[in-house]
Amino acid sequence: MKWRIPFWEKKLKMAETSGDEQITVYVVGGPASTEELEEALDNGFEITHCDGEIELHSALSEAVPDVMVMARETAMEEHLLNKIKQHYKDMPVVVVGSDPEVEYVVECMREGAHDFVTREKVPDRLAETVQTAAEEHRLLMQVNQLVEAYRRRGQFGEMVGISPAIQTVYTIVSNVAATDATVFIYGESGTGKELVAQAIHEHSPRSDGEFVAVNCAAIPKDLLESELFGHEKGAFTGADTKRMGSCERADGGTLFLDEVCEMDPTLQSKLLRFLQDHKFTRVGGTEARVSDTRVISATNRDPLKEVEEGQLRDDLYYRLHVVPIELPPLRDRPEDIPVLAQHYLEKLGDKYNKYFVDFSPEAVDLMLRYDWPGNVRQLINTIERIVVLATTDRITADLFPKKIREKARKKEKPALSVDEALGKVQEALVPGEETDEVLPISEVEKNAILGAIRKCGGDISKAARKLGVSRATIYRKLERYGVR
């Protein structure tokens, strides 16, 4: 029988129900084996009886219960329990059987049972077991929504942010990644142009290939051609061996050309040819080579102005500018500042093996008042300095560099108040939640971590990978939460 999974909205609706609502339970098995189970659950539970696989399949196609209770003989018949768990892995199933032997119980657990209750314990234990399983299930669904919301809305690859402006970037990146279209990223220095390029590569069919980044402004003009296309032995003084260029290294992958407007016009014409037919010739060579490379370029200048001034060839501009992505400066998306700050506080804390709880309200206010002319890069560098020097587990305003404190305090009003910023974070992480309550980031984080651990069956390493943090971070936080 083919199992049809109901619409995900039904599952989410169940996750949003309050603890006061009646718990829905499907009791599965023949009448003779389930009568006592239904009697034990008669008070306080909404029971649906399913006499075998066909009736169960029909019921599940309409709605997923909070808990399923199955007679052991039914659960093991044609591996019905295992079959259900393959499609409804988060739904707890309590199995009831007459034999309490360890091997008997382990067999049920291996098939996917949440818990096992012996028949002699049904009157005393079944209702409590179902109640506990239902509460855990509903909490798990809520945590799943939160973690998924953060994954979708709070972070994309290494990019972090919840503002509408950065969400627009996420959408463009997600759409363009599946194609081979040429992308042109522009924005001020430090806004994260290379992170966008990496995200496009990592979410594309080329992700198994190499991501090669070339900063055109950092390489002398007379060496940039060799860097891009390689050279043959003896092509110029010092060319003692032949060398593969970045275009060739990125065959099957992605080539990121940062500060492309710094490229010499003569070299721009060679790049244009490569973009048109993927062919190039090494410096000092005569053989035309082919490389299946996707090109993503970026600049911190106004590209149209560069075209007008003759610094960027117009034909190259139009070839590069197929899909433009504009990255807003950090001062134009202040709601992202506390999210970015907390993210890098954790990340850099792991790097230096130090643990921090969060930022004080005064520190958040200071960050919201400062304009961050160096954008995200400056914020990261500032937090790294703080992490290295801090001796407390909470980051206060006095730990920020003096120049930042002085400039921030000259600003009469921050772009957003602390409450407004945290409110926007809450709205983004839990979209559609109608409540005046604003949870602290630390509380949202705690719920996500504990939920991830529960979902991963207590496997800390797996939970850490899912959440994108180190095991050390989770252990330190569990210690702070008082969880052992």
Structural domain boundaries in the chain: 8-151, 164-327, 331-481
Residues 8-151: name the CATH superfamily. Response regulator (3.40.50.2300)
SS3 of residue 354 by DSSP:
coil
Which helix (H) or strand (E) element contains residue 46?
strand 45-50
Would you say 260 and 214 are in contact if contact means Cβ atoms under 8 Å apart? no
Binning pLDDT at 50, 70 and 90, where does residue 176 land? very high
Give the residue carrying structure tokens 């005393």. Answer: 124
* pLDDT tens for each residue of 372-410: 999 999 999 999 999 999 998 889 999 999 999 999 999
Binning pLDDT at 50, 70 and 90, where does residue 4 land? very low
Give, in words, the CATH class of 331-481: mainly alpha
Mean pLDDT of 445-474: 72
State the pLDDT at residue 443: 66
State the pLDDT at residue 74: 83
Q: Which residues pair with 70 in a beta bridge?
A: 28, 95
Q: Which tokens sit at 432?
A: 């559609």
User: Is residue 452 scored above 80 in pLDDT?
Assistant: no
Instruction: For residues 310 and 312, give the distance between their C-alpha atoms in angstroms, rounded to a whole number.
Output: 6
C-alpha distance from residue 160 to each of 73, 152, 425, 479 (Å): 50, 10, 12, 26
- DSSP letter string, 426-450: HHHHSTT---S----HHHHHHHHHH
Mean pLDDT of 200-211: 94
* pLDDT tens for each residue of 208-258: 999 999 999 999 988 999 999 999 998 888 888 999 999 999 999 999 999
Instruction: For residues 157 and 211, give the distance between their C-alpha atoms in angstroms, rounded to a whole number.
Output: 14
SS3 of residue 281 by DSSP:
strand
Mean pLDDT of 426-441: 52
Would you say 51 and 31 are in contact if contact means Cβ atoms under 8 Å apart? yes
* pLDDT tens for each residue of 358-374: 788 889 889 999 999 99
Q: Among residues of the chain, what percentage have pLDDT more than 90?
A: 44
Longest dimension (CA), the chain: 92
User: What one-character DSSP code corresponds to residue 259?
Assistant: T
- Cα–Cα nearest to 148, from 451, 390, 454: 451
Instruction: For residues 279 and 287, give the distance between their C-alpha atoms in angstroms, rounded to a whole number.
Output: 10
User: What one-character DSSP code corresponds to residue 301?
Assistant: S
User: Is residue 469 scored above 70 in pLDDT?
Assistant: no
Other CB atoms within 10 A of residue 429 CB: 21
* pLDDT tens for each residue of 14-38: 334 444 568 889 999 888 888 889 8
* pTM of the predicted structure, to 2 decimals: 0.60
Instruction: For residues 316 and 262, give the distance between their C-alpha atoms in angstroms, rounded to a whole number.
Output: 13
Q: Do domains 8-151 and 331-481 have the same CATH topology?
A: no
State the pLDDT at residue 468: 63
Question: How far from each other are the two terminal CA atoms of the chain, in whole angstroms?
Answer: 43
Q: Which tokens sit at 304?
A: 């149209």
User: Is residue 6 scored above 50 in pLDDT?
Assistant: no
User: Is residue 7 scored above 50 in pLDDT?
Assistant: no
- Cα–Cα nearest to 160, from 333, 296, 383: 333
Other CB atoms within 10 A of residue 269 CB: 12
- Domain 164-327 annotated CATH 3.40.50.300: yes
Comparing 122-131, 144-153, 347-356, the range with the smallest average pLDDT is: 144-153
Mean pLDDT of 128-145: 75
* pLDDT tens for each residue of 24-81: 899 998 888 888 898 888 888 999 999 888 888 888 888 888 899 988 888 888 788 8
State the pLDDT at residue 91: 85
* pLDDT tens for each residue of 255-308: 999 999 999 999 999 999 999 999 999 999 999 999 999 999 999 999 999 999
- CA dihedral sign of residues 387, 389, 393, 396: negative
- Cα–Cα nearest to 154, from 438, 430, 432, 471: 430
Instruction: For residues 247 and 213, give the distance between their C-alpha atoms in angstroms, rounded to a whole number.
Output: 10
State the pLDDT at residue 12: 35
**CA 434 from centroid of its chain's CA atoms:** 24
Mean pLDDT of the chain: 83
- Residue 115, CB-side half-sphere exposure with 13 Å CA sphere: 21
- DSSP letter string, 211-257: EEEEETTTS-HHHHHHHHH-B-TTSSTT--S-B--HHHHTTTSEEEE
User: Is residue 419 scored above 70 in pLDDT?
Assistant: yes
